[in-house]
Structure 1
Amino acid sequence: MSSDELSPAERYAKHTDGRRHPRLAAFAEAAPFPLDDFQLDACRTLEEGHGVLVCAPTGAGKTIVGEFSVDLALEQGRKCFYTTPIKALSNQKFNDLAAVHGSENVGLLTGDTVINGEAPVVVMTTEVLRNMIYAGSPTLNNLGYVVMDEVHYLADRFRGAVWEEIIIELPPAVTVVSLSATVSNAEEFGAWLDSVRPTTKTIVSETRPVPLWQHMMVGNTLLDLFDAEDSKNLNPALTKKIAQQKEREQRYHRRRRHVDRGRVVERLDRAALLPAIYFIFSRAGCDAAVDECVRSGISLTTPQESDAIREFAEGATSHIDPADLHAVGFNRWIDGLAAGFAAHHAGLLPVFKEVVEQLFERGLVKVVFATETLALGINMPARTVVLERLVKYDGTDHVMLTPGQYTQLTGRAGRRGIDIEGHAVTLWSPDFSPKIVAGLATKRTYPLDSSFAPSYNMAVNLISTAGLRRADEVLASSFAQYQSDQHAVHIAEQARALARKSELASQEASCDRGDYLAYYGLTKELSRLEKSNQKRRKGQLRDAMKADMSDLKRGDIVWLGAGRRSGWAVYLEHTRPRKNRGAEAIFLTTDSRAGAVPMKRLTDVLVDGKLKMKRNFRRHDADQRRDLASALREATRDRPRPTRRGGRANDPKIDSLREEIRSHPCHSCPESGRHAAHAARWWKLHSEQQTMRKKARKRENSLARQFSDVRGVLVGLDYLEPAEDGEVTVTDRGRLLRNLFNEADLLVAQCLHDGVWEGLDPSSLAALASTVMYEARFEEEDYYIATPGSINEALAATMRRYEAINRLERARHMELTARPQKGIAWPIYRWARGEDLADALRSFEGPKAMPGGDFVRWTRRTLDLLHQVGDAARTIDRPGAQDLAKCAFDAADAMKRGVVADM
């Protein structure tokens, strides 16, 4: 809106705001679109010198606030670090900021990539900044702003602690700009931020810049989810169409067929709902969807667009060896692109994913079949988002999407400045009703829960840089402890409410003859002892019965003491255990019936005599059964029921308690029934109150207890040494551990200190390093490792150290160190030796081959670990360790080639 279109009051307000916030005024003037209220509010807060937490929907423009902090830093002559959770997002942001501020002013640090690292504006992954803080890097000098993009990643159970460490440990003079997706507990998160970084303001916007319409596709019919006249109700036409579809399927006895993705795409195209992101929660499903569309002959591109796509894709991959491209299906991939289709998932080569993202952003690729990882951070909006299913595999089981996940996925629909509205389309299935979709679409519950927990590396770094007391303060300052304390307060309040109710019940149970609650307590204790005694007697009887049953012989006369067959019987035989049924015993009763009784039901069988039976007795012969039953009746006539030796023993405690109850003054109270009802309520409330108090105590200082356990392991393995003043000091081993930022940090440190990785060649070291950080997506196959025996020896030594760590962790109920897995060792070995990608990928045994993108990702992670191993080994004063350091760097250099180097 131009100044001429504003009212006098609006012009005055704008003028006044421009005088108070001159930098924002200039920034907003240069922006490509008018800034929203939440963006202006956040930017004003930053210009006034305060930190800010911005929570807003996907696509709302949160990054504008981060970009304004970059502008402020440059204007003030200070540095700004822009952190992201993933390398792809770092690369994207680096290019965006370099285009605005010039490549000389913007750098990139992603662990293995260093571009202009001392620039005033540096984009980096969060781990890089965390490591800088622990190392006291001079690059932190003159740092004014840190942008924490996608800060809700602190809920990630593997990497979330990094965000909290940074927020707590950054110098107070640094302004933190936190950008988050919409979360339902934004105020709680903001309150914690303000407690550790004072004067942090929380700004929440739940308004989507582009309205989102919800649809369902039934068969080939696209219908609105909600009623046009009353948006709170479902669309009647939709429910009618679903009923017709169900009737049709029942009439023709059809099961649900495979989704025809080509027809879905054509329907979206006719409705002008492309470009679209089509979510399929399966990598194989995404690849198959592209193949289906290509085979069906569908093309969403013009000849000119197809030529432009091929030219761009071939140019972007021209530096890769043709043999490597062939190994990962380059021709199939580019054919899909040329037709306007692409897959996007973690199994693709990074360069393939970048090409897809850029072509989609340029409007050349019209449909991307993606897994949910696309929804995490990458700027790739579409007009429409399609959900093929509402169930996804979470690594353990197939589970329904949560409202938060549904919101995050559909949040990609609607391109700001391009679309006037976005569209979310769910494909109907008999497995779920429209009500379920409506519930997901309307329920805004996406809580942000901390995953912060102390690690071994964190412990030695915190103690080394600031001492034990400061380490304890950091843990106490974490969002995890803040949430735990808040929950403890809530639980304590519940306990107090129960206490008030129990006090009232106590008053109502009062008796003028004495303490009725004490009397009622005696009766409960008697009941407990009697039940315990009865259970013990039953156990003894069961043991005796088992002994009797094991000695049963054909013709034994027994007394069946329980069940509908109770009475005298004669034992015939045992049956073999069957599926879903245990062993059974066959008895003949006095009424000539022969039947099987499950052994587990025979709780009281007493043997008393024996009948002589024919050797060829057949229980299916009615005459033989009658003759044997007659003999049984004759033998047991006038015989008393047998009793088990020992009888029922008296318990002195029970006898004493009974006497105490009888002599209590409340025992003869005529109001005993009424008192007992109130006393029972008091006992129930009192028990719940005690449980609540235990929960509250458990939550209080929970991280301190975990940290104590971590320190206990480190002290036991000589990484920390207790001092007389209650402090602890970091040993030489601990200083070695400081350089290892990995889930297997302690295991790697043990192996380096003990020298078990020394003496290996670079390719063998690379293979061995992969075993401590690789995690199979599926149950690990027993892959064949055709590597030298030296690797197997070193792996066996590594496993012995893992077992030692695992024993210490189990003793403290911890699970910090994962068991090494050899699943990628052989392919890594071959790649490090210089073999081509096709040979490395062919190394995978088992039913599931590893996609090229996964191989590259795990190879890159192994490469990162090798750099850490090299740096750590340099600190060990031992010739073999110095050789190991060189070997580690040589292995990393050997691996960083071809598709692995292309990131």
Structure 2
Amino acid sequence: MPSQSPAERYQAARERLVESRTEFGSFKDTFDFELDEFQIEACKSLEAGQGVLVAAPTGAGKTIVGEFAVYLALARGLKAFYTTPIKALSNQKYAELAAKYGARDVGLLTGDTSINPEAAIVVMTTEVLRNMLYASSEALDDLAFVVMDEVHYLADRFRGAVWEEVIIHLPSEVQLVSLSATVSNAEEFGAWLDTVRGSTTVIVSEHRPVPLWQHVMVGKDIVDLFAGDTSFDELDVRQDATPAVNTELTELARVESQNRQRGRFAHGGRGARGRGQQRRGGPAKPSFGHSDAGQSPVRSASRPQVIQALDRAGLLPAITFIFSRAACDAAVRQCVDFGLSLTTEAERAEISARVDQASQEIPSDDLDVLGYWSWREGLLRGVAAHHAGMLPTFKELVETLFVDGLVRAVFATETLALGVNMPARSVVLEKLEKFNGESHVNVTAGEYTQLTGRAGRRGIDVEGHAVVLWQPGTDPGAVAGLASRRTYPLNSSFRPTYNMSINLIAQFGRGRAREILESSFAQFQADRSVVGLAKQVRSREASLNGYQESMTCHLGDFSEYARLRRELSDLESSAAQQRSRTRRDAVDESLASLRPGDVVEVSSGRSPGYAVVVATDTHSAESRPIVLTQGRDTRRLSRQDLDGPIMAQGHLRIPKQFNLRQAKDRKNLVAALEHAIRGIAAAPASREASFVSTRSAEQEKKITELRRQLRAHPCHGCSERESHARWSERWWRLRRETDDLMRQIQGRTGTIAKTFDRVCEVLRSYDFLETGPDQQLRPTQAGQRLRRIYGEKDLLIALCLREGAFDRLDANELAAFASALVYQAKREERGLRPRLPSAELESSVDILVTAWSRLEDQESQAKLPLTSEPELGLVWPMIKWARGRHLEAVLEGTDLAAGDFVRWAKQVIDLLDQLAGVPALAPQTRRTCLEAIEHVRRGVVAYSALAA
């Protein structure tokens, strides 16, 4: 780099002096490393008063921009909210900010957890902020910044709409900091933010601070996915520099495909580089070896062997993603049984002390059912699972031990990829297929990017490593396709819900509510797609004008003449179809009317001529009688054998002992048939004649009139008539295509507002909305209750409140009943309705099921998404828990994991807390809700205060 001139050095020093006097300059000085360019640009835009959208890879340091918003709020004596999609991430961010700025200035709100909610900085789940906005909470006063971490979560089809609600409803003076994974349409999302939030700077960075190498693990050997000596992240993709797939892998796939059952395979390979700061030596050169005849050329390594191979290559700590909770737990057991140990004696002592401290409040009676001992043994060896079925306390300790380098191998489900701070040197994907709750589907490029983004710890590793385990049938090209697509589109999942709609009407009225909904990202994307369709329409309209000109006739209006030709053609085609249907029906009717002994003449098909019916078919939809021909052959008659209806032309008596299989009987019957044929003096009147005349007189009249008009039209005598007609047909086909596009545009325009209108009609039908004296829609008293109920079954819960389903229950029964409104059973767990613990609960569930059935009918008629059926699988465990039973007794006979039960229990608490705050609720019901909360919030539920 050339040395700077004195003037350049002076200018650089002056810029540094100016920056040091800004809030960003002070903030930057709090770090002992240089910020990246995208971080600097985003922070400066934020200080200048703009909103920012930062789209960058996982681990790139996006959260520094969010932390600067927090810093600005504190420096200016204002508030900042830091929102996340999941409670685990909120818990983690709260701990980080509290450690940096002090617990006095930082709070946490996650629905079931409230710590210092009046603080200047509050970390919360996005749903909590949405609820604040609808309730016009005083906590919004002096709010200056909202950070939306993992904002790409708005694509989630179940909960993503909450992000858009918050973005739309935030006061205009609040600056929004949106942090997203790298998405391919960041500019589109930024353009929408600019529309609804004002000036927004879009900053996209595809640079990973820690380069990512891609590998495939073949047996126990780690092989590079791509050829070449440059990681994919370091290539300039704009120069089409995407590397080729490693030929060793493509050759392996070819040989495996050809010799799956037999053959031998011998191949050498170049292993993963294992660069960077590694604890042990690099990987050995792979040798796929030889396979016995009939065996696969690759013998898969066990899970402990995979970890050993990574350890030898210096690629630990590692996260192995397995899309099954049970398989994650099984992987830990396998490593323990294998004797794998990744820790020193000193590390085991520290782990033991931290485990004992974290679990000291857990009742000893619950340790076995929580799987405590196997969990502890795995941790001592440096191995752990991480999934939603674990107790939150266990998960949090796994996270901290992993970050501190004491746990070096974690087997996790994909939920870990949602922003939890657990970076690793390498990430392993056991399979590229997962079960999505309904079927097994392939991992998408976006999911692959999100999962492998955990590899490479900034400031620790020089590079990260992603490893896909070779499975039978692996396609290296498909793996390379996933690995080389660094971005994925962000598509809105927004739709108006009952709670959202009634809150909008209450605050803004129906007209303004429609406008607000039409400003959603979902409608923004729909409108943008309409722009493309409209462009196609304009292009086709231009072509239509050209066709119109080409079919112009000097003798008259050819468009009118073409219309007559088309009407005549359509009518004649319709008449022909009608004749065909009538003929078919007449033929079927004639075949069904035949009886044994009837002599018939078969007009076409195989062996035409006379035949005698020997049996009829009365059991099938199409009658196909069996006949004996003059040539003594037997066959079934069908409509394909006839030109028209068939009728008996004589009749023979068939002996009672006649056997079609006997040649003698067939010979005698054919002789009788020959005699009958000679005796037929003349064929009876053909039914075909009457059939031909079945075309309606009205149709004939119209066809005749159209032909007359066509001959009388001036253009009929044009010498270029057929040339004009060809242009006319092209015009007509293009006109139909253009009209189809116009219908698509009409269907997409205002789709969100149309859904909103249908939601409003359902709410009106249930008297949750009414027309006021000013002729405007407004919530009724029942509607006001619905405003405070959030969740997938919001309207169903409000209906149960109105029907008194909660009123006759005691606290324990109420907790059990609430579980039916939040629990979502796995598909295989759904079954018959169980016997319920009490008559009162039976009665309440009857009200619930009836209300749901009626609501589903209403939603079907309104063409709205259906409210899911209430699930009763948690009723018995929840009432046992509320009655004070031990966790082991509660989970006995169920497939529930302890962590799952805690998670559902916290959702029950959240619902009961919502109900306790519903307006005009009966005082006794409110007291029962609060009592039920206390019954549920105990034991593992209580001490798992920071839930996942």
TM-score, normalised to structure 1, is 0.92
Q: Distance in 1 between matches of 2:714 and 2:677?
A: 52
Q: Distance in 2 between matches of 1:511 and 1:626?
A: 72
1:468 Cα deviation after fit: 2.6
1:204 Cα deviation after fit: 0.8
Q: Report if the CA contact (8 A) 1:168-1:474 is conserved.
A: yes
Structure 2 letter corresponding to 1:334: R
1:458 Cα deviation after fit: 1.2
Matched, 1:716 2:765: yes
Structure 1 letter corresponding to 2:91: N
Matched, 1:864 2:910: yes
Match of 1:823 in 2: 873
Seen in structure 2, the aligned counterparts of structure 1 residues 314 and 600 have a Cα distance that, compared at 3 Å, is: farther
1:89 Cα deviation after fit: 0.4
Match of 2:379 in 1: 337
Q: Distance in 1 between matches of 2:677 and 2:301?
A: 73
Match of 1:798 in 2: 848
Seen in structure 2, the aligned counterparts of structure 1 residues 409 and 175 have a Cα distance that, compared at 3 Å, is: same
Q: Distance in 2 between matches of 1:392 and 1:310?
A: 35
Choose the corresponding residue for 2:316, options 274, 293, 300.
274
Q: Which runs of structure 2 are paired with 1:831-846 in the superposition (5 Å)?
A: 831-844=881-894
Choose the corresponding residue for 1:606, options 636, 639, 646.
646
Match of 1:747 in 2: 796
Match of 1:885 in 2: 926
Q: Secondary structure at the match of 1:695?
A: helix
Q: Distance in 1 between matches of 2:405 and 2:625?
A: 76
Q: Secondary structure at the match of 1:818?
A: coil
Q: Which runs of structure 2 are paired with 1:226-375 in the superposition (5 Å)?
A: 226-228=226-228, 231-246=242-257, 249-251=260-262, 252-254=293-295, 260-375=302-417
Q: Which moved more, 1:223-232 or 1:421-430?
A: 223-232
Q: Distance in 1 between matches of 2:665 and 2:356?
A: 90
Q: Distance in 2 between matches of 1:635 and 1:268?
A: 93
Structure 1 letter corresponding to 2:883: R
1:114 Cα deviation after fit: 0.8
Match of 1:217 in 2: 217
1:364 Cα deviation after fit: 2.0
Q: Which runs of structure 2 are paired with 1:299-698 in the superposition (5 Å)?
A: 299-544=341-586, 547=589, 553-557=595-599, 564=606, 569-573=611-615, 586-595=626-635, 606-608=646-648, 609-622=650-663, 624-625=665-666, 628=669, 631-632=672-673, 635=676, 639=683, 642-643=686-687, 646-647=691-692, 648-650=694-696, 651=699, 652-698=701-747
Structure 2 letter corresponding to 1:13: A
Match of 1:95 in 2: 95
Structure 2 unaligned residues grouped into runs of 5+: 230-240, 263-292
Percent identity of paired positions between Structure 1 and Structure 2: 46
Q: Report if the CA contact (8 A) 2:109-2:125 is conserved.
A: yes
1:805 Cα deviation after fit: 2.2
Choose the corresponding residue for 2:920, options 843, 868, 875.
875
Q: Report if the CA contact (8 A) 2:596-2:616 is conserved.
A: no
1:336 Cα deviation after fit: 2.6
Q: How far does the alpha carbon of each residue in 1:23-47 deviate from its partner, in whole angstroms, 9 at most, with x for none?
A: 2122212214211000000000111
Seen in structure 2, the aligned counterparts of structure 1 residues 6 and 765 have a Cα distance that, compared at 3 Å, is: farther
Q: Report if the CA contact (8 A) 2:130-2:165 is conserved.
A: yes
Q: Secondary structure at the match of 1:30?
A: coil
Structure 2 letter corresponding to 1:892: I
Q: Which moved more, 1:358-367 or 1:543-552?
A: 543-552
Q: Distance in 2 between matches of 1:13 and 1:701?
A: 53
Q: Which moved more, 1:413-422 or 1:37-46?
A: 413-422
Seen in structure 2, the aligned counterparts of structure 1 residues 304 and 810 have a Cα distance that, compared at 3 Å, is: same
Match of 2:125 in 1: 125
Q: Report if the CA contact (8 A) 1:456-1:710 is conserved.
A: yes
Q: How far does the alpha carbon of each residue in 1:122-166 deviate from its partner, in whole angstroms, 9 at most, with x for none?
A: 101111111111112111111111111111111122222221121
Q: Secondary structure at the match of 1:823?
A: coil
Q: Distance in 1 between matches of 2:504 and 2:596?
A: 75
1:836 Cα deviation after fit: 1.9
Q: Distance in 2 between matches of 1:336 and 1:601?
A: 77
1:326 Cα deviation after fit: 1.3
Q: Distance in 2 between matches of 1:33 and 1:388?
A: 35
1:884 Cα deviation after fit: 1.6
Seen in structure 2, the aligned counterparts of structure 1 residues 210 and 572 have a Cα distance that, compared at 3 Å, is: farther
Q: Which moved more, 1:226-235 or 1:212-221?
A: 226-235
Seen in structure 2, the aligned counterparts of structure 1 residues 770 and 658 have a Cα distance that, compared at 3 Å, is: farther
Q: Distance in 2 between matches of 1:888 and 1:836?
A: 22
Q: How far does the alpha carbon of each residue in 1:150-208 deviate from its partner, in whole angstroms, 9 at most, with x for none?
A: 11111122222221121121112211111111111111111111111111111111111
Seen in structure 2, the aligned counterparts of structure 1 residues 450 and 630 have a Cα distance that, compared at 3 Å, is: farther
1:896 Cα deviation after fit: 1.2
Q: Which moved more, 1:309-318 or 1:126-135?
A: 309-318
Matched, 1:23 2:64: no
Q: How far does the alpha carbon of each residue in 1:52-73 deviate from its partner, in whole angstroms, 9 at most, with x for none?
A: 1111111111000000111111
Match of 1:852 in 2: 898
Q: Distance in 1 between matches of 2:428 and 2:142?
A: 46
Structure 2 letter corresponding to 1:362: D
Q: How far does the alpha carbon of each residue in 1:338-365 deviate from its partner, in whole angstroms, 9 at most, with x for none?
A: 3332222222222222222222212222
Match of 1:72 in 2: 72
Q: Report if the CA contact (8 A) 2:386-2:411 is conserved.
A: yes
Question: Higher Cα Rg: structure 1 or 2?
Answer: 2
Structure 1 unaligned residues grouped into runs of 5+: none
1:584 Cα deviation after fit: 7.1
Seen in structure 2, the aligned counterparts of structure 1 residues 73 and 655 have a Cα distance that, compared at 3 Å, is: same
Q: Distance in 2 between matches of 1:313 and 1:584?
A: 80
Seen in structure 2, the aligned counterparts of structure 1 residues 177 and 584 have a Cα distance that, compared at 3 Å, is: farther
Q: Distance in 1 between matches of 2:132 and 2:558?
A: 67
Q: How far does the alpha carbon of each residue in 1:520-562 deviate from its partner, in whole angstroms, 9 at most, with x for none?
A: 3333333333343344444445555555565554444556677
Q: Report if the CA contact (8 A) 2:253-2:476 is conserved.
A: no
Match of 1:810 in 2: 860
Match of 2:816 in 1: 767
1:254 Cα deviation after fit: 4.1
Q: How far does the alpha carbon of each residue in 1:411-444 deviate from its partner, in whole angstroms, 9 at most, with x for none?
A: 1111111111111112233434111111112224
Q: Secondary structure at the match of 2:566?
A: helix
Structure 2 letter corresponding to 1:317: S
Q: Secondary structure at the match of 2:367?
A: helix
Q: Secondary structure at the match of 1:326?
A: coil
Q: Distance in 1 between matches of 2:913 and 2:708?
A: 77
Q: Which moved more, 1:520-529 or 1:746-755?
A: 520-529
Matched, 1:894 2:901: no
Q: Secondary structure at the match of 2:462?
A: coil
Seen in structure 2, the aligned counterparts of structure 1 residues 516 and 340 have a Cα distance that, compared at 3 Å, is: farther
1:699 Cα deviation after fit: 1.6
Structure 1 letter corresponding to 2:846: A
Q: Distance in 2 between matches of 1:331 and 1:510?
A: 89
Q: How far does the alpha carbon of each residue in 1:798-842 deviate from its partner, in whole angstroms, 9 at most, with x for none?
A: 222223322322221112522222222222222222222222222
1:591 Cα deviation after fit: 4.2
Aligned length, in residue pairs:
890
Q: Distance in 2 between matches of 1:81 and 1:601?
A: 80
Q: Which runs of structure 2 are paired with 1:14-163 in the superposition (5 Å)?
A: 15-20=14-19, 22-163=22-163
Seen in structure 2, the aligned counterparts of structure 1 residues 666 and 753 have a Cα distance that, compared at 3 Å, is: same
Seen in structure 2, the aligned counterparts of structure 1 residues 591 and 43 have a Cα distance that, compared at 3 Å, is: farther
Q: How far does the alpha carbon of each residue in 1:250-307 deviate from its partner, in whole angstroms, 9 at most, with x for none?
A: 3133479876323322222222222222122222322222233333332223333334
